[in-house]
């Protein structure tokens, strides 16, 4: 008896087809075709002003997708309503260049604030979740410290921990090492690598080519209003 082997392709966690990105009336990127699958780690590179951040903003609902097809973590970007954006962002972990920590409260309370804002009520579960994510980024003993009492690299680790709080399906990291020195950048990158090894999907915008050389992954480039894969 002969058996036919059928390979089933998983559905992409991020899918863009003939998509164009606009900032108000200005075309930033056009004819984007991109698929990212669960567990992928992909770099997004390009010069300042090439459209990296505009693409990221479209993916987390800050800019509307007005032309082409797009879906991310089960949400259709072309039909995304404003009321749906908070639910989209709970399924995404977003890491920014400038940390965006609240300076009037300690690390634990920064993370507790996010959990409570997204519907967590049980204080013991909140504490356990905060301990879990801080341990993942090597910051479990620093929860009592204020943001200004820790280094930039440690603040970014906390920002990554914050992104992990609601078990996101995908992490969008927009220049996460942009404000850090080379050694600290490597430390933060190693944290992202470990998170990716657990199966988390990561799209990271960066202009740090030293990181790309040290931690090679599939890379796409924004240039001349287009996106193409770097071979």
Q: How far apart, in whole angstroms, are the C-alpha atoms of residue 176 and residue 174?
A: 6
DSSP assignments along 190-202, one per residue: HHHHHHHHTT-EE
CATH numbers and ranges of domains, the chain: 14-230 (3.40.50.300)
pLDDT along the chain (231 residues), means of 10: 50 95 91 95 92 94 94 96 92 90 95 93 95 94 95 94 94 92 92 94 93 94 91 62
pTM of structure: 0.90
Buried b (16+ CB within 10 A) or exposed e, 160-186: bbbbbbbebbbbbbbbbbebbeeebbb
The reported pLDDT for the residue numbered 118 is 87
Q: How far apart, in whole angstroms, are the C-alpha atoms of residue 208 and residue 31?
A: 26
3-state secondary structure of 150: coil
The reported pLDDT for the residue numbered 99 is 86
The reported pLDDT for the residue numbered 231 is 62
User: Is residue 174 a contact partner of residue 205, using CB atoms and an 8 Å limit?
Assistant: yes
Closest CA to 36 of 59, 11, 60: 11
The reported pLDDT for the residue numbered 9 is 56
């Amino acid at each position: 008896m002969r058996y036919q082997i059928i390979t089933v392709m998983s559905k992409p966690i991020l899918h863009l087809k003939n998509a164009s990105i606009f900032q108000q009336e200005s075309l930033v990127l056009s004819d984007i075709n991109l698929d990212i699958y669960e567990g992928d780690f992909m770099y997004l590179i390009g010069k300042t002003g090439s459209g990296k951040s505009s693409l990221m903003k479209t993916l987390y609902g800050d800019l509307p997708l007005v032309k082409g097809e797009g879906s991310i973590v089960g949400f259709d970007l072309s039909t995304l309503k404003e009321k749906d954006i908070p639910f989209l962002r709970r399924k995404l972990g977003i890491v920014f260049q400038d940390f965006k920590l609240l300076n009037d409260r300690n690390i634990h309370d920064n993370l507790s604030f996010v959990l409570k804002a997204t519907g967590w009520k049980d204080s013991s579960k909140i504490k356990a979740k905060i301990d879990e994510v801080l341990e993942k980024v090597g910051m479990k003993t620093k929860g009592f410290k204020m943001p200004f009492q820790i280094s930039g690299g440690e603040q970014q680790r906390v920002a990554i921990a914050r992104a992990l709080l609601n078990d996101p399906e995908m992490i969008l990291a927009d220049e996460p090492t942009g404000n850090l020195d080379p050694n600290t950048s490597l430390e933060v990158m190693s944290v992202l690598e470990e998170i990716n090894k657990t199966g988390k999907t990561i799209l990271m915008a960066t202009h740090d080519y030293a990181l790309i050389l040290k931690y090679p992954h599939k890379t796409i480039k924004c240039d001349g209003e287009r996106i193409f894969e770097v071979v």
